[in-house]
Amino acid sequence: MFRFAFLYFALQVLPLDWKYYRDVAANWSGFSFGDIFRVAHYSPRFFDGPDTFLNWAAVALLAAVGAVVWSWIDKNRPEYNTLYYWLRVLVRYRLAAGLLAYGFLKLFPMQSPPPSLSLLNTHYGDLSNWKIFSLSLGIVPSYQSFLGLVEILSAVLLLNRRTASIGAFLSISFLGNVFLSNLAYEGGEYVYSFYLLALALVVLWYDARRVNDLLTLERPAVPNRFQLVLPESWQRSGRQVLKAGFVLLFVGLYGVKTYAAYQRGSYHYPQTPGLPGAAGLYNVREFRLAGQVRPYSATDPERWQDVVLEKWNTLSVRSNRPVALDQSNTEAIHSLDANRNYEFAGAAGRHYYAYQLSPDGQTLMLQNRNPGEGADKLTLRLTRPDARTITLSGTDAQGRDLQVVLEKRDKKYLLEEAAKTGRRGELKL
């Protein structure tokens, strides 16, 4: 049983999968916090597509075969205390890396960002369960920071052998909630969260029997007095260097880079600035397509119902045209604006366009952000008769003449109004 368990968890922890190195190298952008996150976000993959427990079954099969061969070769060994020690070391540090990777994203509340204007103007029923969960967490950044602190504290306790079981117990309490949240809200990290939970159970197992004897059965608990002996000085020095390097990378460097990213703004939303002074919700006062006036209609698939301009270079349109829903529901850190899909992932009802403003400030070139909706491009001439009105004219993706008059609405949002008054202030709706 030990041989199987050792091989199983060694295969789960050590990055032996060549696809892991391929994916890390393909997304490497120069030792950014996203690069370190991808290094820490490892679990073995044998099958393409979303992660499933089939990968665990493949690992178990390899471990079973290896255990049979190992038992045949080394059947006379009486114990594996030293190997058990090193297995716990591998599992402890792997678990700590996973907790730190997510912990700093929560401590500096970025994993779940505040909702954008487009999302605030999206019907509740047009949001996926996981998007609702993420947005609900995003509007309480202080609670998100508290969750991150719990993860970081658990990871730091895991780095010391004497406090590892306490760290494992804390992480089990936390990761159990993460796993159940993924199941309840149809998140995409349920396999990975259970992967970390399994590692925490392995760490806690070392002291579980003694803790049960002491606290539940109320009988003497015998401590494990095994001491690892490293006879060579270079072995002792190497051990300290590796531990210091781990702390420097995943605590020091990753923490600093994550905080710097937090200062720059959410990594979920594009960073390119939008049209100056234009952010807000707009009614479509007039809509002409192919020379014909289209009156407001909730059922017309081509008539725009309203438009949102974000602070960044996103323009979203609400219409009755079906949306190709982006089902992304796992954590991903993209360095390029074009790959940042959080604002439209898990959200229907609106079509999201990235736009570029010509040097003279009079032409907008729009490209649909959602790759599932094909080559949807528009080139529109921009005029601003006054601070509240925007007119767009040009051609749509089918080459038809398009003229739109947008009128800005004075809409107040509960989040912003509540922030002005504070937690104990009076708020009139």
Domain-embedded: residue 89: yes
- Same domain flag for 250 and 374: no
- Same domain flag for 345 and 238: no
Residue 379 is part of a domain; what is its CATH number? Answer: 2.40.128.280
Phi/psi of residue 388, each to 5°? -110, -5
Domain-embedded: residue 419: no
Instruction: Name the least confident of 69-78, 259-268, 341-350.
Output: 69-78
pLDDT band at 342 (very low <50, low <70, confident <90, very high): very high
- Same domain flag for 230 and 161: yes
Residue 377 confidence (pLDDT) above 80: yes
The b-or-e profile of 9-43 (16+ CB within 10 A means b, else e) is bbbbbeeebeebeeeeeebeeeebbbbbbbbbbbb
Domain-embedded: residue 273: no
Distance between CA atoms of residues 271 and 311, nearest Å = 9
- Same domain flag for 192 and 322: no
Q: What is the pLDDT of residues 70-102, one digit of tens each?
A: 999 988 888 899 999 999 999 999 999 999 999
The percentage of the chain sitting over the pLDDT mark of 70, rounded to a whole number, equals: 100
Q: Among all chains, which residue has been given the structure tokens 């601070």?
A: 387
Residues 6+ apart with CB under 8 A from 373: 323, 324, 351
Distance between CA atoms of residues 90 and 6, nearest Å = 11
Would you state the pLDDT for residue 149?
Answer: 97
Contact assessment for residue 220 and residue 67, using Cβ atoms and an 8 Å cutoff: no
- Same domain flag for 217 and 124: yes
Distance between CA atoms of residues 384 and 262, nearest Å = 34
Domain-embedded: residue 272: no
Average pLDDT for 302-328:
95
- Same domain flag for 114 and 159: yes
Distance between CA atoms of residues 264 and 316, nearest Å = 23
Split into its structural domains, the chain has a count of: 2
- Same domain flag for 122 and 228: yes
- Same domain flag for 256 and 309: no
pLDDT band at 418 (very low <50, low <70, confident <90, very high): confident
Contact assessment for residue 402 and residue 289, using Cβ atoms and an 8 Å cutoff: yes
Residue whose C-alpha is closest to residue 171's, from 196, 189, 192, 146: 196
Contact assessment for residue 43 and residue 56, using Cβ atoms and an 8 Å cutoff: no
Domain-embedded: residue 422: no
Q: Is the dihedral of CA 386, 312, 188, 177 positive or negative?
A: negative
Average pLDDT for 361-373:
92
Domain hosting 354: range is 280-409
The percentage of the chain sitting over the pLDDT mark of 90, rounded to a whole number, equals: 77
pLDDT band at 383 (very low <50, low <70, confident <90, very high): very high
Distance between CA atoms of residues 350 and 318, nearest Å = 4
Average pLDDT for 299-315:
95
Among 264, 297, 319, the domain boundary falls at: 264
- Same domain flag for 393 and 257: no
Domain-embedded: residue 224: yes
Phi/psi of residue 107, each to 5°? -55, -45
Helices and strands counted in the chain (H then E): 13, 9
Give me the residues paired with residue 293 across strands.
288
Domain-embedded: residue 271: no
Count the neighbouring beta carbons within 10 Å of the beta carbon of residue 103.
28
Contact assessment for residue 91 and residue 14, using Cβ atoms and an 8 Å cutoff: no
Task: Identify the DSSP state of 123.
Answer: -
Helix residue spans in 223-253 (DSSP H): 233-247
Average pLDDT for 357-368:
90
Among 202, 235, 264, the domain boundary falls at: 264
**CA-based end-to-end distance of the chain:** 64
3-state secondary structure of 229: coil
Phi/psi of residue 30, each to 5°? 105, 40
pLDDT averaged over every residue in the chain: 93
pLDDT band at 422 (very low <50, low <70, confident <90, very high): confident
- Same domain flag for 296 and 159: no
Domain-embedded: residue 373: yes
- Same domain flag for 80 and 222: yes
Instruction: Name the least confident of 26-35, 111-120, 182-191, 294-303.
Output: 26-35
- Same domain flag for 127 and 234: yes
Q: What is the pLDDT of residues 193-208, one digit of tens each?
A: 999 999 999 999 999 9
Instruction: Tell me the C-alpha to C-alpha distance, in Å, between residue 116 and each of 238, 264, 344.
Output: 48, 16, 10
pLDDT band at 245 (very low <50, low <70, confident <90, very high): very high
Q: What is the pLDDT of residues 277-286, one digit of tens each?
A: 999 999 999 9
Model pTM? 0.91
What single-letter amino acid sits at 337?
Answer: D
